[in-house]
Chain A
C-alpha cells in the first residue's frame, strides 16, 4: 500500500467516525457505535502489512479495521443506518459485520469474543497449509478476559499462525489501564506462553506496518503466534453519550498533539514531492467518499422484517 493511499484511508476512517458521531447527535442513526478516532494508524498500518489471503478479526470498535481492509464505506454506513444494503442487511449494526471475501471475519460485540475464533481460523489455515496469517484485534480491556489466556496458551501450544494485536488505547470503557491491569505492559504476557511479545507506537503508521510485516513473516514461516501491543489513545469517547468524566480535557488536549494523522502528515511532508495541496486533495477524496456513503445509506431501502423468517439456520 503506497503511503499516500494509507493517509487517504486513515482520513477516510477519521471522517467516517466523525460523521457517525454527528449523525448520532442529529438522531439520524440509532443504536450504538464505538468510534476509533485516534487509532487509525493501527488499523491502516496492519492492513498495509497483510496479504489479501490473510484473515482479520475485529472488536466492538471495528469500523476502522473493516474500512482499512477494503470495506465499502457505503455498506458499512448502511449497516449503521439499519438498511438492507448494509453488510449484515441491518441485522448486525455497528458491531456485527463480516465479509470473508475481504478476509474480514467480523467485528464482535463481546469483549474478547473474537480471540478464540481467530485461533480457529488459524487452525483451519494450519490444517490446509494455506499460508494464511490471521490477525486478531482486541483491546486492553479484553486482555483481562480469561479466554485471552486460554487461547494464547492453546495457540502457542499448537503453534497456530495467528498474530494477536492488542490496541492499548489507555481505557477499557472508563477504566484506565493502570486501574485495570496489574501489569500495564501487556506485551509482557507473551512471555508466559513462550511466544514473541512486542510493543510498538500505535500512532506511527510506519512503525505499525513494519512491525506487523516482520511478525507476520515469521508467523507465515511456521513461527507460531505472536503478541503485539500497539500503544495508542482513543480520542473519542467510549461510545455515543460518553461524558468522559474519567479523564481530563487537558489530558485529551495533550493526546491530540500525538494525533496519528498529524504525525502521518508530518512524515509524508518530508518528501518534497508531497505538498499541502497533495494532502488536501487526498482529504477531499476521503471526505467525498464518506459524503457518498451517507447518501447511499440514507437512500437505501429498509430491510424487510419478513426476511427474518426462515433465515435462522443455514
Chain B
C-alpha cells in the first residue's frame, strides 16, 4: 500500500494509458509545460511530447469538436476542460455531435472529457458549478464521478478504453486529498456499478463525487451517535445503478440523496423519482434531498460554505430521518 493524492493517481493513470495505447492523446488549455490548471498533467509532456500532450488555444468548442472528429477517425482523445463551468462553451459539440454519433450515425466516439466541478475554493460563481445535471438528461453521454483515488483510476481507465463519449468529473477539492491505494494501479472499474462504501440498516445516503467523500465522513459521525447509515457511492451517473439504491432503500426504509448542485432540477430528483417508482411501499419516511440552494455559488468563504452541503448538514438530515 502507499499514499497518493487524487491528482497523482490521475496523472499516473493517464501516463499508463498513454503508454499502453498510441492512439490515446491529451488535449486542453495549458496542459503541456504548465501541467494543467490543477497540475494533473504536470510532467507528462516530458515523456510524451507536445503532439500527445497537446496545448490548445482558449477555444473550448473548437477543441471539443476537434477531439470528436479525431475520435470518429480512430484516435482516443482525452480532453481537459479547465473548469466544469467552461464546458458550457462546448455543449453544442457534446450534445449535438458526440451524443448523436452512435445512436443516429452508427459511429463510435471514444472521447473522454475530464473536468473539475464543484466549489469550496472561493473561486466564485463561474468556477465552482456542478453541471453534471446538464448532461445527465442527454442520452448518449456517459458520466463518471469518482470520490477517491482508486475509483478515479479504475474509472478513468474504463473511460479511456470505452468507445463512447465519457464526461469524467474530478472534483477540485479531491485533487490534493491523500488516499491509501495499492502499489500497482487498480484494474479498470466497469461503469454502472454503484458501491456500498459503508453498510448500515438505519438510513441510505446516496451521493457521488465529493459529496460521497463527505457522506462517508458523516456516516462515521452518525455511528458515534448510534445511527448506522448505509452510504452508496454511485461512481457513475450514466449508467445509473438504481438497483443498488433501490435494494438499500428496501432494507433501510429511509433514503436521502446529497448533491452539490442546486436542488431544483438536480440529479438527486431523478434518483428520488426512481427510488419512489421502485420502492415506495418500503419507505418509512419521504425521500429527502440535501443540495445547494437555488443560487449561484458565492465567493466569500462563509457565503460559499453556507450554500454547499457539509458533513454536519448530512448528519443532521440523517438524524431527522431516523429520529
Contact = CB atoms under 8 A, between A and B. Distances in A.
Given A120-B72, A120-B73, A154-B56, A312 B104 contact: no
Contact of B92 (A113, A127, A313): A113
A120 B106 contact: no
A123 B164 CA distance: 19
A150 B57 contact: yes
B62 A154 contact: yes
B69 A120 contact: yes
Interface stretch (B95-103, B173-181, B300-308): B95-103
A311 B67 CA distance: 22
A116 B65 contact: yes
Contacts of B106: 88-89, 98
Nearest to B67: A120
A237 interface: no
A154 B57 contact: yes
B235 interface: no
B74 interface: yes
A106 interface: yes
A185 interface: no
Contacts of A125: 73
B139 interface: yes
Interface of B is mostly: helix
Q: Is the interface on chain A under 10, 10 to 19, 20 to 34, or 35 or more residues?
A: 35 or more
Interface in B80-111: 92-93, 96-97, 100, 102-110
Nearest to B60: A150
A151 B59 contact: yes
Q: Is the interface on chain B under 10, 10 to 19, 20 to 34, or 35 or more residues?
A: 35 or more
B260 to A, nearest CB: 26
Interface string A235-268: 0000000000000000000000000000000000
Nearest to A124: B73
A150 B92 CA distance: 14
Contacts of A96: 100, 104-105
A127 B100 contact: no
Given A120-B69, A120-B70, A150 B62 contact: yes
A306 interface: no
Contacts of B109: 314
A154 B66 CA distance: 9
Given A110-B96, A123-B70, A313 B102 contact: yes
26 contacts: A97-B105, A98-B107, A110-B96, A113-B92, A113-B96, A116-B63, A116-B65, A116-B68, A116-B69, A117-B65, A117-B69, A117-B97, A120-B67, A120-B70, A122-B69, A124-B74, A147-B65, A150-B59, A150-B62, A151-B65, A154-B56, A154-B63, A312-B139, A312-B140, A313-B163, A314-B108
Q: Across chains A and B, which 3 residue pairs bring their CB atoms closest together, nearest first?
A: A120-B69, A116-B65, A124-B73
Interface of B: 25, 51, 56-57, 59, 61-75, 92-93, 96-97, 100, 102-110, 139-140, 142, 163-164
Interface of A: 55, 88-89, 91-92, 96-98, 100, 105-106, 108-110, 113, 115-125, 127, 146-147, 150-151, 153-154, 157, 308, 311-314
